[in-house]
Amino acid sequence: MFARGGTRMRKFFILAFIANMALTLISFFVLPSQVAIHFGLNGMADGWAPSYVYVLIMAGAQLFSFFLFCALHFFVPRLILSSPPELINLPNKEYWLSPANRPQVIEKIQNLFWRMGSALFLFLLIINALSIHANLSNINRLNLWVLFPALGTFLLYLIWLLIVFHRAFRMPERSVG
């Protein structure tokens, strides 16, 4: 289940990043010169800055996240290939870190990074849209009816990914023959 769709998830990751950057660039042209960049627990704006600061913060967070996930995708497999098994924390590592199974391990871990990155960019897209909407409204308030379910969904998805990750590295069932 985990290894399927790696190319699709990588494309989705890139599209979600592009959507975030596009929305951030658009926000530069539609936001007022002074915008709320921080909101309290009640959703009300309580920190302000010039709109270009908001754009720089959002673009910076998105670029950092994009390059972090790309670096993890590139370096973690090389680390797995070059590290002794006793330094790698993986369920059933005696089986999965055998030379015959390491390519599967790398594929599964790379797909995990694409899935996590895609979820993060979808969540950032919602945060960005909510922030823009709040800054264009008269009361400068985040829509908590969207924010909290989005946050809950994001966290549940990360928990689900951990479960899928553990299940992906269980011992395969031996076929009786």
**Residue 61 resides in a domain:** yes
What is the arithmetic mean of pLDDT over 143-168? Answer: 95
pLDDT in tens, 81-108: 888 888 888 888 888 888 888 888 888 8
**Residue 174 resides in a domain:** no
Q: Which residue has the higher pLDDT, 75 or 24?
A: 24
Confidence of residue 19 (pLDDT cuts 50, 70, 90): very high
Is pLDDT at 3 greater than 70 in this prediction? no
Mean pLDDT of the chain: 90
**Burial of 173 per CB tally in 10 Å (0-12, 13-18, 19+):** exposed
* DSSP at 173: P
Is pLDDT at 5 greater than 70 in this prediction? no
**Residue 1 resides in a domain:** no
Domain assignment of residue 32, given as a range: 6-168
pLDDT in tens, 108-126: 888 988 999 999 999 999 9
**Residue 176 resides in a domain:** no
**Residue 91 resides in a domain:** yes
**Residue 173 resides in a domain:** no
Confidence of residue 20 (pLDDT cuts 50, 70, 90): very high
The per-type count for the chain, helices as H runs and strands as E runs, is 5, 2
Q: How many domains does one find in the chain?
A: 1
* Type of residue at 140: N
- How far apart are the C-alpha atoms of 147 and 130, rounded to whole Å? 8
**Residue 12 resides in a domain:** yes
**Residue 66 resides in a domain:** yes
